[in-house]
Amino acid sequence: MQLSSYINQILPLADITNRAIESAFVPVKFSKTQILIPEGKISKEMFFIEKGLARIYYYNESGKDITYSFFTEGMMLTVAESFFGQLPSRYNIESLEDCEMRKITYTDFEMLLKTYPETEKVKSQGLLEFLLKATDRIVTLQFLSAQERYDLLMKNYPSIILRASLGHIASYLGITQETLSRIRAKK
């Protein structure tokens, strides 16, 4: 999906606003396993993925690397609280494949908000989408079994399951690699 269709599907905007947004997002490429946003830093940029796969992750108290979430084509990639709130990020963002993205800086984003007030609505609408995903995730983790969580991911994001590594998927689901491997072997 293109950035323009992504924005329009969130909220239809005047042509001039659309063009301003388009040109505020500049192309960037990343190779596999680059850190786009490191833990502890304020996110100065937000990304829209045109091609590739990335994840947000953190290290838990015992130092284990835990995937918080995956992002792929047509998704807006950002640690929302850090970018929108300009707070230090508690997570890292890492590319898992060679990626083609578009990025916007926070400065340019603020400029858009000032110049085209209707973008403020894109912001709230965007935040709402992140919130919807987060609440889904909570319900999933609260009471589904490992198998059910896997099936759900498979149903909603089959491409992630095909492209991400076993270990990353397992920690995303809140289970160990061994358990995930056995779930897969079973069917």
Write the CA distances from 109 to 9, 20, 103, 162, 177, integer angstroms: 19, 10, 10, 34, 39
Among 51, 114, 121, 184, binds DNA (CB under 7 A): 184
Binding to DNA, residues 103-162 (CB under 7 A) = 145-147
Among 15, 27, 63, 143, binds a copy of itself (CB under 8 A): 143
Binding partner of residue 29 among DNA, a copy of itself, none, CB under 5 to 8 Å per kind? none
Write the CA distances from 90 to 6, 83, 124, 158, integer angstroms: 27, 12, 22, 27
CB atoms within 10 A of CB 46: 24
**Taking the complex as a whole, how short is the minimal distance between the CB of residue 98 and a copy of itself, in angstroms?**
28
Q: Give 27 or 138: the residue with its C-beta nearer to DNA.
A: 138
Q: Which residues contact 136 (CB under 8 A, 6 or more apart)?
A: none
| Segment contacting a copy of itself by CB under 8 A, of 24-32, 45-53, 99-107, 114-122 | 114-122
How many residues belong to the site for a copy of itself (CB under 8 A)? 30
Give the containing element (helix H, strand E) for 12: none
Q: Which residues contact 41 (CB under 8 A, 6 or more apart)?
A: 88, 89
Binding to DNA, residues 164-183 (CB under 7 A) = 165-167, 174-182
Contact of 37 with 77, CB cutoff 8 Å: no
C-alpha–C-alpha distance, residues 96 and 5, integer Å: 25
**Taking the complex as a whole, how short is the minimal distance between the CB of residue 171 and a copy of itself, in angstroms?**
8
Query: Exposed, middle or buried, 132 (CB in 10 Å: 0-12/13-18/19+)?
Result: exposed
Q: What angle do CA 144, 79, 114 make, to 5 degrees?
A: 135
**Per CB under 8 A, does 81 bind a copy of itself?**
yes
Q: Site mask, a copy of itself, residues 90-109, x = CB under 8 A? A: --------------------
The contact set with a copy of itself (CB under 8 A) reads 58, 60, 64, 66, 68, 80-81, 84-85, 117, 120-121, 123-125, 127-128, 130-132, 134-135, 137-139, 141-143, 171, 174
Residues lying near DNA in the complex (CB under 7 A) are found at: 145-147, 165-167, 174-182, 184-185
